[in-house]
Structure 1
Amino acid sequence: MSNAPVHNIDVPAFAADPYADLTTIREGTGAAFVPQLNATLFCRRETIHREEKRVDLFSSRQPEGLMVKLMGENMLRKDGEEHASDRKITFPSYSPRTVRDHWSERFRAKTQEALDALAPQGGCCLVRDFAMRVCGEALRDVTGLYDLSWQEVDATSQAMIDGVANYHGDPALESKALAAVARINQAVERQLDDLPEYSLLKVQLDSGMDVGPAAGNIRLAISGGQNEPRDAIAGAVWALLTHPEQLQMIRDGQATWKDAFEEFNRWQSPVGMVPRGVTRDEEVEGVQLSKGDRVFFMYSAANRDPRVFDAPVVFDITRNNSPSLAFGAGPHFCAGAAVSRELVSQVALPMLFERFPNIRLEGDVRFHGWAFRGPVEVKVRW
């Protein structure tokens, strides 16, 4: 068992705002064992950047982990050649070239439809009425699962995300996650006779992959490919509207929408952590780990590490975000990063602000989550 210093948390308070606890751990010994999560949390950026790549020690393969138990095997829970093979097979669907030449115009068309529907309303909740729809429609295209509505894409994604972050064992969350998995499996079966070009389902089956593993990677794509860009869209709008001078910099051409997207992802870290299983006894950063221990690499803490980022709690779109771990590091760097960057920074944000140049916030905004974090609602008027 890990001999890291023990740090107790209040789970609901940690979900509401994890940063005070994470700062205490990071600025103390850098790592701590949290009994409520049964895991050792590593919180310093350089440690995580280095150790996450050591998959021989910190394995992604966790057959007893929540993701595998609820969602089945997928490329995120593989290492080495198995992981590399799945990435190579799925790459034609996610590649920057495919995103540019095939997906981008589809993203724009669906986003335009969403904006046209919202315009007469004079306001909306950006999370529910805009970001959910834009991301859900994009995932229908990328995965090829047109049997799912965009509302179902969001609902199944959220159910699976809640399930894999259910370290406190809520049976209702587990049940919802399993129902979401079943619904996606049903959609895969219904799509087999009509495989859309460049879709994740098509490129996998064309490679010779069996339906079961292909469906596992689609479930992974939906679980991560919906909530993260959804939260980044709504959250980045909130960040810019609460920092109007930085919004003006973008409008004046002194910064870009991509700058805002990358800075929001660093600042709020929609993906707050990645779990790993320890494969052997070893000491890391003064912490003695034992085979079978569970480790969480806390991206959210790393992305606010003052050893790397000046004034890290400040939202600043002019900063250099190349050290950010928002999309991970090493062999498990987010496979869908190009899709997310295009959808959020080149489509959703610029089109929203162009359509509604006088958009303004209405009411307070509350964030929630520590493993996955985003705004609960962002109400706006125009």
Structure 2
Amino acid sequence: MTATDDASVPHLDVDPFALEFFADPFPTHERLREAGPVVYLDKWNVYGVARYAEVYAVLNDPATFCSSRGVGLSDFSKEKPWRPPSLILEADPPAHTRTRTVLSSVLSATVMKQLRGRFAAAAEACVDALLDKRRFDAIEDLAEAYPLSIFPDALGLKPEGREHLLPYASLVFNAFGPPNELRKQAIERSAPHQDYIAEQCQRDNLTPGGIGACIHAHVDSGAITATEAPLLVRSLLSAGLDTTVNGIGAAVYCLARFPDQFEKLRNDPTLARNAFEEAVRFESPVQTFFRTTTRDVELSGASIPEGEKVLMFLAAANRDPRRWEAPDSYDITRRTSGHVGYGSGIHMCVGQLVARLEGEVMMAALARRVAKIEMTGEPKRLFNNTLRGLERLPVEITPA
């Protein structure tokens, strides 16, 4: 059977990597969900799933829907990856299990507990400095500045060259897309960013006692090899920053747009973690990921042959009315558990604990110190093949 033989799979002429789609994806997400549990996108010759149940099923069946052939449109069994594949994101068990265990130990809940005081103090200092300015760009001065002020230090990076970190993360997520202009330009400009990252991930360049050095220490115990260690540090450089920057940006954007929700947060700062989680569900900083079928499979009545790319619309699943009540409203009291903003299953984002900690302490700092967040101009969207975020968000804050 060829990829398009199954009559039960509707064909759609949607390009989920077009700039007009990125500008306002929600009407198309609804169209994708309503067309059927599995659709076929003729533009890129891939299957798509946009409902929560099917996205969740694909994410939680790594034996059938593999990652080792690439989590972007490229199929690594047919073409050479643009960089050495990730040992976490682009790997399957048992190889994935071994490397994931190492990362889980260096980014454990215990480690997060040790970092919490430092991260919270930095969030409060960041908000205090912004209160002095009153008017600022919430992306550059808050969503980017705060994670960049603490995470590279925690990882053990040298101060020089950190300007490469965000462009590198943006490049990685653009590269998961199809061979469009965004991907082409990102890869063409990538050499200096890749060189910096490769160098910084080496053991000698990392501060002793930092998270990066802790990863390299696992070489001594034989858990990973000396070749694998820098690649695992590299995984954190994209996963630990982009999810956090776009998550915090999304949360501030939501609180500025929905002042009633910010008022709720101010009245009860213990909702800080949930305000951040709900923003991740509502805006979905990571919009899509691909998997490749390892065998012929039936999913919700649709037959998908072996070797086919399946595009998961995480953002559409996060607003699926079959799973969420009033999915298009931002509600910080919502029970958000189960959202797929960080994926699900064995490949859940490795940076999620860092993102959640930073997001929570920043929301708490805003709740305690700020009375009002108002937009003072039009936000400008950042276009990326995989990430949804803003390039600019002009705001004014009033002290509490």
Same fold, TM exceeding 0.5?
yes
Q: Cα offset for 1:172?
A: 1.9
Q: Any idea what the Cα deviations from partners look like across 1:143-169, whole Å, max 9, x if unmatched?
A: 322255543322222222223335426
Q: Any idea what the Cα deviations from partners look like across 1:232-275, whole Å, max 9, x if unmatched?
A: 11221121122111111121128601111111111111111221
Aligned to 2:91: 78
Alignment of 1:36-185 (within 5 A): 36-62=43-69, 64-65=75-76, 68-70=81-83, 72-101=85-114, 103-115=115-127, 117-168=129-180, 170-185=183-198
Q: Cα offset for 1:107?
A: 2.0
Unmatched 5+ residue regions in structure 1? none
Contact 1:39–1:296 under 8 Å retained in 2 = yes
Unmatched 5+ residue regions in structure 2? none
Aligned to 1:2: 3
Aligned to 2:284: 269
Aligned to 1:349: 363
Which of the numbers 14, 33, 40 marks the counterpart of 2:40? 33
Contact 2:243–2:352 under 8 Å retained in 1 = no
Contact 1:195–1:202 under 8 Å retained in 2 = no
Contact 1:127–1:378 under 8 Å retained in 2 = yes
Aligned to 2:242: 227
Say which is worse superposed, 118-127 or 143-152, in terms of deviation: 143-152
**2:291 aligned counterpart, secondary structure:** strand
Supply the distance in 2 between the matched residues of 1:88 and 1:281 (Cα, whole angstroms).
Answer: 30
2:343 equivalent to 1:336: no
Which of the numbers 299, 303, 327 marks the counterpart of 1:284? 299
Matched residue type, 2:388: R
Supply the distance in 2 between the matched residues of 1:148 and 1:344 (Cα, whole angstroms).
Answer: 26
Q: Cα offset for 1:318?
A: 1.8
User: Percent same amino acid at aligned positions?
Assistant: 23
Supply the distance in 2 between the matched residues of 1:211 and 1:332 (Cα, whole angstroms).
Answer: 23
Q: Cα offset for 1:85?
A: 0.9
Q: Kindly tell me: are residues 303 and 89 of structure 1, through their superposed partners in 2, closer, same or farther at Cα, counting changes over 3 Å? A: same
Say which is worse superposed, 354-363 or 311-320, in terms of deviation: 354-363
Q: Kindly tell me: are residues 319 and 117 of structure 1, through their superposed partners in 2, closer, same or farther at Cα, counting changes over 3 Å? A: closer
2:378 equivalent to 1:364: yes
Q: Kindly tell me: are residues 193 and 49 of structure 1, through their superposed partners in 2, closer, same or farther at Cα, counting changes over 3 Å? A: closer
How high is the TM-score relative to the length of structure 1? Answer: 0.90
Supply the distance in 2 between the matched residues of 1:323 and 1:354 (Cα, whole angstroms).
Answer: 28
Aligned to 1:196: 208
Q: Cα offset for 1:214?
A: 2.0
Say which is worse superposed, 103-112 or 7-16, in terms of deviation: 103-112
CA RMSD of aligned residues (A): 2.5
Contact 1:308–1:323 under 8 Å retained in 2 = no
Supply the distance in 2 between the matched residues of 1:296 and 1:306 (Cα, whole angstroms).
Answer: 20
Contact 2:106–2:211 under 8 Å retained in 1 = yes
Q: Kindly tell me: are residues 261 and 116 of structure 1, through their superposed partners in 2, closer, same or farther at Cα, counting changes over 3 Å? A: closer
Aligned to 2:310: 295
Q: Any idea what the Cα deviations from partners look like across 1:329-366, whole Å, max 9, x if unmatched?
A: 11112222221111111x22222444443432211234
Higher fraction of helix: 1
Q: Cα offset for 1:325?
A: 1.3
